[in-house]
Structures are given as C-alpha cells and as structure tokens.
Amino acid sequence: MVIGSKLPINVKLIFHSLSFIKKELFLFLFLLIVAIVVTHYFVYSLTVSLLIFLILLLLFVFQLIRKRIDEISEIKKMMIAIRKGEVKNISDINLTSNLEPVESEIREMYSQIKNDIDYLKKLERMRKEFLGNVSHELRTPIFAIQGYIETLLNGAISDTKVNKHFLEKANNHTVHLSNLVNDLIDISMIETGEMRMSFRYFYISDYIHEVISDLKPFADEKKIELRFVPTEKNIQVFGDRARIKQVLTNLTVNAIKYTEVGSVTIELIEENKNIKIVVRDTGIGIPPEDLPRIFERFFRVDKERSKDAGGTGLGLAIVKHIVEAHTSKVEVVSKVGVGTEFSFRLKK
C-alpha cells in the first residue's frame, strides 16, 4: 500500500531530475553509440571498448559536476546580492531556466522576508511615534501643574484674586493626567493581551439606564437632553459588561462633550441576530477628511478643544479595541454642524 503510493512519486522524481541533465545525457548517449559503432567495426578489443566507455562515463560525470558547481555558485551569488541589499525588486531575482523551481522559491522567500521587515519597520515607527506622543502628552500637564504651584509658592497663594483659580487650574491638569494614565494602562493591557474579557448575557436596557444616570449631571450642566430609545422587549446581549460600559460611556461622553445645543440619544435597534447600539448627537460633527483617523491613538480633530474638555485622544482607540474583541466593529457617520452617530452591534 505504502510502496504503491510512493512509487509514482519516485518515478516522477527521477524523470524530473533527468530533465535537468537532458543535454548531457543526450550527448553521453550519442557518444556512447558512436563509441559502440566505432569499436564494433574498427576495434576488436574488449579492453579498448571498456576503456572508451569509462572515459565517456568520466567525461559525463565531470560535466555534471561542473554544471552543478556552476548552478550552486549562481545561487550563492544571488543570495549574496540579496544579503547585501543589491536586490531591490523581486524581478531582479533571475536564475538560469534550469533553476526555475529554485528561483521561484527564492522569490517567495524574498517577498516574505521583505513583508516581515516592512511590517517590523512600521511597528518600530508606530512605537516611536507613540512614545513621542506619550512623552508630549505627559509633559504638558506636568509643566502646567509645576507652573501653578511655583507661582503660588512665590507669593500668589496669599493673593485671594488668583489663588483659588490657580489651584482649580492645577487640579484640572491632574484630572487630565490621571485620565491619560488610566487610558495608557488600558492601551497597554490591550497590547499585552492582559485585558481579559468575561463574556456573559446581560439585559442591555437596564444597563444603559445605569450609564445614563451616571452621565446625566454632565449633560444637564451643558443643558443637553440625554435620551434613551430602548427596544420593545427587554433583551439580553452577550458581552463583557464592564468593558461595554466603558465603550458606551466613552461614546456618550464624547457626544456630550462635542455638542453645544440639542440632544444626545442612545438608541437600541433590534436586528435578526444582533442588537445595534447607536449613540447619536446633534453636535459639531467630524470633517470627512478626519473621519478615517479618529480611532488612531492621540488623534483629536481640535486638539485645544479636546484638551480643554480633559480629552486624551485615546478614548476611541480603546473603544475600537473593545468592540473588535466582541467580534464587532464601530461604525460612524457624521456631518459637520449637524451631528455624529456612532454604532456597534452585540449578539443577542
């Protein structure tokens, strides 16, 4: 059974190998025939015949070895050129037609290594950018806090006109700093895979009531109406309660933060297998050219405005990771001056 299944492959392999040396083989056979004819008609000695056969065989083997050495040195030269970075493009990898299978293997390997290197370079660039952004974001509030404290210590503490104001400013920056550090911890947990999700069924409507009551004072302060449109039935969804709360809070806080007048609505829409959760606002909107970038870390459409509101620019990056961990995705539609709608789906 085993022999039967291996035999055709071996025969195929032999034919394949023979195809590489067909020129030499034909030459050898031709010379052998000539030698047989010559010895048969002109030389009547077996020793001479054998000698001629031996010489031909030696020539054949020598030719084969020479050819192999040439091929190996051709492959070696190509490898050295790749190592030295002289090969810029996959089409620069060319070997003689005999070595076609080796050539395609080298091309394959080259493009795989090139892709891996490009990916590592991209990661390295992102890491540097991230580190630069983190340092910059940390430096700003720390310098500000330092500045206010120094001013207060230098005498402003007894100036009743400014002392409270400076302390409030310093406090705002500590809030910002603490938000930033918490977001960074989340991002790092996501990256190291430590953000474990604990999936279970829970009633989504009850849950949204909790989020709304947490954020109502924030909306009231800005005189923005915070509305909830539930589904007809109280439906259970499958997900990580705590993390989904983080997502909803982030999206709703954004909606309130970037809305001046009007309302913020959280709506649940029942679909076949999912519940679509929509957070809609009547706020400033996001310009179309910025929409593809809002999930990037530290990206803010209006840096100053976001910072004033205590924003770090990490919120949506975290939202995206959490929603994707629920095998879903965040969708966004927005119109400048009209409003924004973020949505994602959870399994029923």
Ligand X SMILES: Nc1ncnc2c1ncn2[C@@H]1O[C@H](COP(=O)(O)OP(=O)(O)OP(=O)(O)O)[C@@H](O)[C@H]1O
Q: Interface residues with ligand X (CB under 6 A)?
A: 179, 183, 250, 254-255, 258, 281, 283-286, 294, 299-302, 306, 311-317, 340
39/254 with CB nearer Mg ion: 254
Q: Which residue, 150, 146, 185, 148, is CA-closest to 168? A: 148
Binds 239: which of Mg ion, ligand X, none (CB < 5-8 Å by kind): none
Binds 283: which of ligand X, Mg ion, none (CB < 5-8 Å by kind): ligand X
How many angstroms separate the CA atoms of 175 and 191, rounded? Answer: 24
How many angstroms separate the CA atoms of 281 and 258, rounded? Answer: 8
239/315 with CB nearer Mg ion: 315
How many angstroms separate the CA atoms of 96 and 101, rounded? Answer: 10
Q: Which residue, 278, 272, 264, 257, is CA-closest to 204? A: 278
* Residue 342: CB minimum distance to ligand X, A: 7
Q: Is 209 helix (H, G, I), strand (E, B) or coil?
A: helix
254/265 with CB nearer Mg ion: 254
Please list, residue by residue across 297-307, b when 16 or more beta carbons sit within 10 angstroms of its beta carbon and e when fewer do: bbbbbeeeebb
Binds 328: which of Mg ion, ligand X, none (CB < 5-8 Å by kind): none
| 315 counts as binding Mg ion under rule CB under 5 A | yes
* Residue 140: CB minimum distance to ligand X, A: 14
Binds 321: which of Mg ion, ligand X, none (CB < 5-8 Å by kind): none
13/333 with CB nearer ligand X: 333
Binds 249: which of ligand X, Mg ion, none (CB < 5-8 Å by kind): none
Query: Looking at beta carbons, which residue is closest to Mg ion?
Result: 315
Q: Is 226 helix (H, G, I), strand (E, B) or coil?
A: strand
Binds 204: which of Mg ion, ligand X, none (CB < 5-8 Å by kind): none
Alpha helices in the chain (DSSP H): 2-20, 22-41, 46-83, 100-153, 163-192, 204-221, 241-257, 303-308, 315-325
Of the candidates 254, 259, 340, 343, which one interacts with Mg ion according to CB under 5 A?
A: 254
Decide: residue 239, CB within 10 A, 0-12 exposed, 13-18 middle, 19+ buried: buried
Binds 264: which of Mg ion, ligand X, none (CB < 5-8 Å by kind): none
321/326 with CB nearer ligand X: 321
Binds 281: which of Mg ion, ligand X, none (CB < 5-8 Å by kind): ligand X
How many angstroms separate the CA atoms of 330 and 340, rounded? Answer: 13
254/282 with CB nearer Mg ion: 254
Please list, residue by residue across 164-203, b when 16 or more beta carbons sit within 10 angstroms of its beta carbon and e when fewer do: eebeeebebbeebbebbeebbebbeebeeeebeeeeeeee
Most distant CA pair in the chain, distance? 129
Query: Which amino acid would we find at residue 90?
Result: I
* Residue 241: CB minimum distance to Mg ion, A: 20
110/299 with CB nearer ligand X: 299
93/300 with CB nearer ligand X: 300
Query: Looking at beta carbons, which residue is closest to ligand X?
Result: 315
* Residue 197: CB minimum distance to ligand X, A: 20
* Residue 314: CB minimum distance to Mg ion, A: 8
Which residues sit at the interface with Mg ion, rule CB under 5 A? Answer: 254, 315
